[in-house]
């Protein structure tokens, strides 16, 4: 790695309005290097990458590719020069085929007409070469998220990418799919492609990255080799805190496992018996007691979200019984469920959570509006009172309650959504991936908050694909596999190994899981 870098960005600055988003940041990439780019939300990672890939223009600084200066006006320019990005929200054409998505703009033609046969054959060869078993003639919408991601990467490869930016590539992948991604990254690395890897997951950074660049508040903090860099030190760099300041565990839960005994005799706030719904959910039984955080674990597709939706009345149940406060209930719509005291924070914050153009005030009080309304008129006084109370209590950072929610960071958006349910005074809160895509500072805050809510006597059902979150946060863990609840772990039984064993037993994914998961 002593030779000249493939890509060098030097002194990159960018301001939006008056705010400095990037302040003289440097980044260099070697051939065949996987370079982690980390920082809390708002640190400037996305801005830096958008400048690299031609989506934004820099105010100052130099970008050199193989020693010559480049200036990309559009993503197309950058792609032409071999700089491609695979975004977190996968930007593909969902109704079109895999082959078309890979080759659109460069379709093989014969006599000026698109040669579909050749295009499909080329795509098949490319995918095979990358070790991917994907039908080039399938539509993108028929693939799961992981495969869509692979298609986006394959497109980059087919464009001859020398620099590939992967933005949160694993945020929606199962452990098995993550291992496929790792293989793909290794293959590209061997070909000399430089990869910028943006992720909030430390296991991944340590598993595949060579070096790491840390950004904070738009400034370069450090670039280090991953080998020999301790996790805690990396966290300290990201947060700008000293080692001593970070005494708790990896998550903000503290250790919650013992709390189970204290609540064992309380009557369950939620009990499900043999719940089935749709094609994915067959037989799920468990209960949640007040003051408990019950973790719901399982591989992608095991029915975690479906369970939540069935309880919340968002999907139609076709079997089983749900008891709230010991009473058999049949919520047919979320409205029913809310009235029974159930709140649900969806995993898809953007699509199913926030209303982006509305203010914090409006977003926060959305679920509580019926109680704030008299003769169809919303009481502004009560509304403001509630909003102020929760903004303070949850530490929501915003310029004012009237700021549009889409302008907030992911962590603050999530807090608003939590507050939205808290002000309906729920007995049971269902959290689907409560900390996904949230930077690690805000993550800890949200975890602490969930912990507090449980202590105040709320029942919490928490779905998470992060093992640490489940092991440290849950009083009990219910494990789902193929739409059935297959195991329940309590107290000392809760460990990453036990969860993974239960999630993956009897499935071919087991070995892959053990190879890539944080079982250390």
Partner 1 sequence: MTTGMLPALRGHFTSSRAVSLLQRGGAVVALVIACIAGSMRYYAFATPENLLNVLRQNSMLGLVALGMTFVILTGGIDLSVGALLAVSGVIAAMLSKHGSLLALAGGIGAATALGVVNGLLITRARIQPFIVTLAMMIAARGAALAVTSEQSIPASPQASALTWLGRGQLGPVPVPVVLFFLAYAVAWVTLRYTRFGRYVYAVGDSEEAARLMGLPADRLVLATYALSGALAGLAGVVLAGRLGAGQPVAGTGWELDAIAAVVVGGTLLTGGQGGAGATIIGVLLLGVIFNLFNLEGTISPWWQWVLRGTFLMGVVIIQGRLQRRARSH
Q: Can you list the positions of beta strands (E) in 17-86?
A: 19-29, 34-38, 60-65, 68-69, 83-86
Check binding of 168 to partner 1 (CB under 8 A): no
Helix (H, G, I), strand (E, B) or coil at 153: helix
The contacts found for 216-222 with CB under 8 angstroms, 24 or more apart, are 216/39, 216/40, 216/43, 216/240, 217/42, 217/43, 217/44, 218/20, 218/21, 218/22, 218/23, 218/25, 218/43, 218/44, 218/47, 219/23, 219/24, 219/25, 219/44, 220/24, 220/25, 220/26, 220/27, 221/39
Rounded to a whole number of angstroms, the minimum distance from the CB of residue 125 to partner 1 is 18
Looking at the Cβ atoms of 115 and 217, the one nearer to partner 1 is 115
Cβ–Cβ < 8 Å for 173, 145: yes
**Dihedral sign of CA atoms 406, 213, 130, 146 in order:** negative
Looking at the Cβ atoms of 80 and 326, the one nearer to partner 1 is 80
The size of the interface with partner 1 (CB under 8 A), counted in residues, is 31
Cβ–Cβ < 8 Å for 48, 20: no
Residue of the chain from 57, 91, 231, 393 that contacts partner 1 (CB under 8 A)? 91
Rounded to a whole number of angstroms, the minimum distance from the CB of residue 151 to partner 1 is 12
What's the chain's length in residues? 520
Residue of the chain from 97, 213, 365, 451 that contacts partner 1 (CB under 8 A)? 97
Looking at the Cβ atoms of 136 and 341, the one nearer to partner 1 is 136
Looking at the Cβ atoms of 79 and 471, the one nearer to partner 1 is 79
56: which 2 tokens?
């934004």
Site string for partner 1, 51-70 (x = CB under 8 A): ----x---------------
Pick the piece of the chain touching partner 1 (CB under 8 A) from 72-80, 200-208, 215-223, 295-303: 72-80
Looking at the Cβ atoms of 138 and 207, the one nearer to partner 1 is 138
Maximum Cα interatomic distance, the chain, rounded to a whole number of Å: 77
Check binding of 80 to partner 1 (CB under 8 A): yes
Check binding of 139 to partner 1 (CB under 8 A): yes
Check binding of 137 to partner 1 (CB under 8 A): yes
Number of Cβ within a 10 Å radius of residue 105: 7
Looking at the Cβ atoms of 97 and 170, the one nearer to partner 1 is 97
Residue of the chain from 57, 96, 241, 380 that contacts partner 1 (CB under 8 A)? 96
Distance between CA 309 and CA 250 in Å, rounded? Answer: 29
Helix (H, G, I), strand (E, B) or coil at 335: helix
Rounded to a whole number of angstroms, the minimum distance from the CB of residue 82 to partner 1 is 13
Pick the piece of the chain touching partner 1 (CB under 8 A) from 71-79, 218-226, 408-416, 473-481: 71-79
- CB burial class (10 A; 0-12, 13-18, 19+) of residue 124? middle
Check binding of 76 to partner 1 (CB under 8 A): yes
Rounded to a whole number of angstroms, the minimum distance from the CB of residue 127 to partner 1 is 15
Residue of the chain from 4, 16, 74, 335 that contacts partner 1 (CB under 8 A)? 74
Residue of the chain from 4, 16, 71, 94 that contacts partner 1 (CB under 8 A)? 94
For residue 422, report the phi and psi dihedrals to the nearest 5 degrees: -60, -35
Check binding of 87 to partner 1 (CB under 8 A): yes
Distance between CA 467 and CA 499 in Å, rounded? Answer: 8
Check binding of 142 to partner 1 (CB under 8 A): yes
Q: Provide the β-strand partners of residue 429.
A: 343, 460
Rounded to a whole number of angstroms, the minimum distance from the CB of residue 240 to partner 1 is 33
Pick the piece of the chain touching partner 1 (CB under 8 A) from 103-111, 284-292, 341-349, 367-375: 103-111
Check binding of 157 to partner 1 (CB under 8 A): no
Rounded to a whole number of angstroms, the minimum distance from the CB of residue 65 to partner 1 is 17
Q: List the interface residues with partner 1, window 272-301 (CB under 8 A).
A: 279
55: which 2 tokens?
């989506």
Number of Cβ within a 10 Å radius of residue 302: 25
Check binding of 351 to partner 1 (CB under 8 A): no
Cβ–Cβ < 8 Å for 253, 469: yes
Q: Provide the β-strand partners of residue 10.
A: 62
Q: List the interface residues with partner 1, window 107-136 (CB under 8 A).
A: 107, 109, 112-114, 116, 135
Distance between CA 364 and CA 417 in Å, rounded? Answer: 6
Rounded to a whole number of angstroms, the minimum distance from the CB of residue 439 to partner 1 is 24
Looking at the Cβ atoms of 63 and 119, the one nearer to partner 1 is 119
Check binding of 422 to partner 1 (CB under 8 A): no
Cβ–Cβ < 8 Å for 196, 163: yes
Check binding of 93 to partner 1 (CB under 8 A): yes
Looking at the Cβ atoms of 67 and 112, the one nearer to partner 1 is 112
Rounded to a whole number of angstroms, the minimum distance from the CB of residue 164 to partner 1 is 14
Contact residues for partner 1, defined by CB under 8 A = 55, 74-76, 79-80, 85, 87, 91-97, 100, 104-105, 107, 109, 112-114, 116, 135, 137-139, 142, 155, 279
């Amino acid at each position: 790695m002593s030779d000249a870098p493939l890509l060098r960005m030097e002194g990159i600055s960018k301001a939006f309005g008056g705010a400095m988003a990037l302040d003289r940041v440097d980044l260099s990439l070697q051939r065949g290097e996987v370079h982690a780019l980390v920082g809390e939300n708002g640190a400037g990672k996305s801005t830096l990458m958008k400048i690299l890939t031609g989506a934004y223009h820099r105010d100052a600084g130099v970008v050199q590719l193989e020693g010559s200066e480049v200036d990309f006006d559009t993503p197309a320019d950058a792609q032409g020069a071999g700089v491609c990005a695979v975004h977190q929200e996968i930007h593909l054409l969902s109704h079109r085929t895999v082959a078309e998505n890979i080759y659109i703009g460069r379709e093989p033609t014969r006599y000026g007409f698109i040669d579909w046969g050749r295009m499909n054959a080329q795509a098949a060869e490319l995918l095979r070469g990358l070790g991917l078993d994907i039908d080039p003639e399938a539509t993108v919408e028929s693939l799961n998220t992981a495969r869509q991601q692979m298609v986006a990467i394959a497109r980059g490869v087919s464009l001859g990418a020398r620099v590939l930016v992967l933005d949160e590539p694993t945020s929606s992948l199962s452990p098995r799919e993550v291992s496929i991604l790792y293989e793909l990254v290794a293959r590209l690395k061997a070909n000399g492609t430089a990869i910028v890897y943006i992720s909030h997951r430390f296991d991944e950074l340590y598993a595949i990255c060579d070096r790491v660049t840390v950004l904070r508040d738009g400034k370069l903090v450090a670039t280090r080799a991953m080998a020999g860099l301790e996790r805690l030190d990396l966290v300290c760099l990201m947060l700008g805190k000293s080692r001593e300041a970070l005494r708790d565990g990896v998550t903000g839960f503290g250790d919650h496992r013992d709390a189970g005994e204290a609540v064992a005799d309380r009557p369950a706030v939620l009990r499900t018996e043999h719940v089935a719904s749709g094609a994915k959910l067959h037989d799920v039984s468990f209960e949640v007691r007040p003051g408990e955080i019950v973790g719901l674990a399982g591989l992608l597709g095991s029915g975690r979200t479906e369970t939540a939706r069935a309880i919340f009345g968002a999907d139609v149940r076709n079997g089983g019984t749900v008891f709230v406060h010991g009473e058999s209930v049949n919520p047919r719509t979320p409205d029913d469920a809310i009235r029974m005291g159930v709140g649900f924070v969806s995993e898809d914050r953007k699509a199913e959570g926030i209303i982006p153009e509305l203010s914090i005030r409006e977003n926060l009080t959305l679920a509580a509006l019926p109680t704030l309304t008299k003769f169809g008129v919303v009481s502004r006084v009560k509304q403001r009172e509630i909003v102020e109370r929760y903004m303070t209590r949850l530490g929501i950072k915003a310029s004012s309650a009237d700021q549009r929610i889409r302008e907030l960071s992911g962590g603050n958006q999530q807090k608003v959504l939590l507050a939205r349910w808290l002000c309906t005074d729920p007995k049971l809160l269902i959290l689907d991936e409560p900390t996904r895509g949230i930077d690690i500072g805000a993550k800890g805050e949200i975890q602490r908050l969930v912990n507090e809510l449980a202590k105040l006597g709320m029942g919490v059902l928490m779905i998470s694909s992060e093992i640490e979150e489940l092991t440290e946060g849950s009083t009990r863990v219910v494990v789902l596999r193929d739409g059935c609840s297959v195991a329940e772990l309590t107290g000392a039984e809760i460990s990453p190994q036990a969860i993974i064993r239960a999630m993956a037993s009897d499935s071919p994914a087991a070995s892959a899981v053990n190879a890539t998961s944080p079982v250390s």
